Amino acid sequence: MYLKDDTGKGFGSIGNLNSWLAGKHKKLLFAMNGGMYMENGSPLGLYIESGEMKHGLNKSSGSGNFYMKPNGVFYMLKDNTARITSTQDFRLAQNIQYATQSGPLLLMNGQIHSLFKEGSANLNIRNGVGILQDGKVIFAMSKTSVSFYDFAAYFKKLGCKDALYLDGFVSRTYYPEKNWVQTDGNFGVIIGVTQKQ
């Protein structure tokens, strides 16, 4: 997960992150914006990068998708195990390497969020993350506008037990292997997969 460069400047776009990584001899294989943020680019909720907490857990209530309870946290442990849990159940631990908080949860224990309605007219571009039964991580972004219910149902159909909504119409995905290259945007946290060049 990435937020700022070595000078403390936020990356903002996937293109900026890609250029920065190239300067460090790393090839960006995949990237996606990784959760909601404030006007200044700071994470709206918990953010842990390389084992260091950069922003605390947000348990407050409010309006908007982030606050649609239960919301949750997607995090990676130092052994590369991935997990998604509700904000209420999340516990800080020394072995958490990366974490981003967002909301709402799409799936929890295989169940679609109770506030989502089948046939809803609330349609938007949406991106999110889910975890399969074998522990593998799935990132997905719709190419057309979809409802929360249908987006959650997609993760469920794939076999995910837990899934978390990351963001909406501002979302971008960089996946050149599948000819999906969106390098613009103005984000807070960006999730990336790299390899050494």
Q: How far apart are the C-alpha atoms of 74 and 83, rounded to whole Å?
A: 6
Asked whether residue 56 is assigned to any structural domain, the reply reads yes
Q: Which pairs count as long-range contacts for 85-88, CB under 8 Å and 24+ apart, including other chains? A: 85/162, 87/45, 87/57, 87/58, 87/59, 88/59
User: Residue 104 corresponds to which amino acid?
Assistant: P
The domain tally of the chain equals 1
Asked whether residue 67 is assigned to any structural domain, the reply reads yes
Asked whether residue 1 is assigned to any structural domain, the reply reads no
Asked whether residue 192 is assigned to any structural domain, the reply reads yes
Asked whether residue 87 is assigned to any structural domain, the reply reads yes
Q: Show the domain range for 119.
A: 14-196
pLDDT (tens place) for every residue of the chain, 197 residues total? 999 999 999 999 999 999 999 999 999 999 999 999 999 999 999 999 999 999 999 999 999 999 999 999 999 999 999 999 999 999 999 999 999 999 999 999 999 999 999 999 999 999 999 999 999 999 999 999 999 999 999 999 999 999 999 999 999 999 999 999 999 999 999 999 999 98
Asked whether residue 39 is assigned to any structural domain, the reply reads yes
Asked whether residue 4 is assigned to any structural domain, the reply reads no
Asked whether residue 5 is assigned to any structural domain, the reply reads no
